[in-house]
Amino acid sequence: MGIISLALQMSFIPLEIEGCDILEFAPISVVAAPGLGAPVRDGDLITVDYRVEDASGKEIANSERRGLASTFMQGTPLADALLSASSRDAREGEERWVVLLKEDWYSISPYGLTSSSGPVLVWLRVLKITRR
């Protein structure tokens, strides 16, 4: 929870002030370990390990625990929107932490994948990039 608290304090995360609307959000990305080669671009096939936590630190998803990395085509409609956004401009071997808003990437619905809005912390390790 420490890194998300720090990231949220240093960001333009939405602030709710009594009587005011939500202010604009600017995503935060912190590279924990730099990667090599050219950054991923739309259309590249990318394989990542990831972990997603909500603002309280509750784990929502963890590919490492399942032993099943995720492979998707970067920036396409069939890619997981949150993972695609988290891996934008990443390089092979890179490890990063990204804070995003769920509602920017998923439909919020009591019957859907995501039932509440708010920030999430995504840890991502790029295992492989295949150029198209």
User: Tens-digit pLDDT profile for the chain (132 aa)?
Assistant: 454 444 444 444 444 434 444 444 456 788 999 999 999 999 999 999 999 998 888 898 899 999 999 999 999 988 888 899 999 999 999 999 999 887 776 666 566 556 677 788 999 999 999 997
Residue 11 in domain: no
Find, among 48, 52, 40, 102, the residue nearest to 71 by Cα: 48
Using alpha carbons only, how large is the chain's radius of gyration in Å?
15
pTM of full prediction above 0.85: no
Domain range holding 66?
27-130
The CATH number of the domain holding residue 116 is 3.10.50.40
Residue 52 in domain: yes
Angstrom distance (rounded) from CA 4 to CA 55 = 7
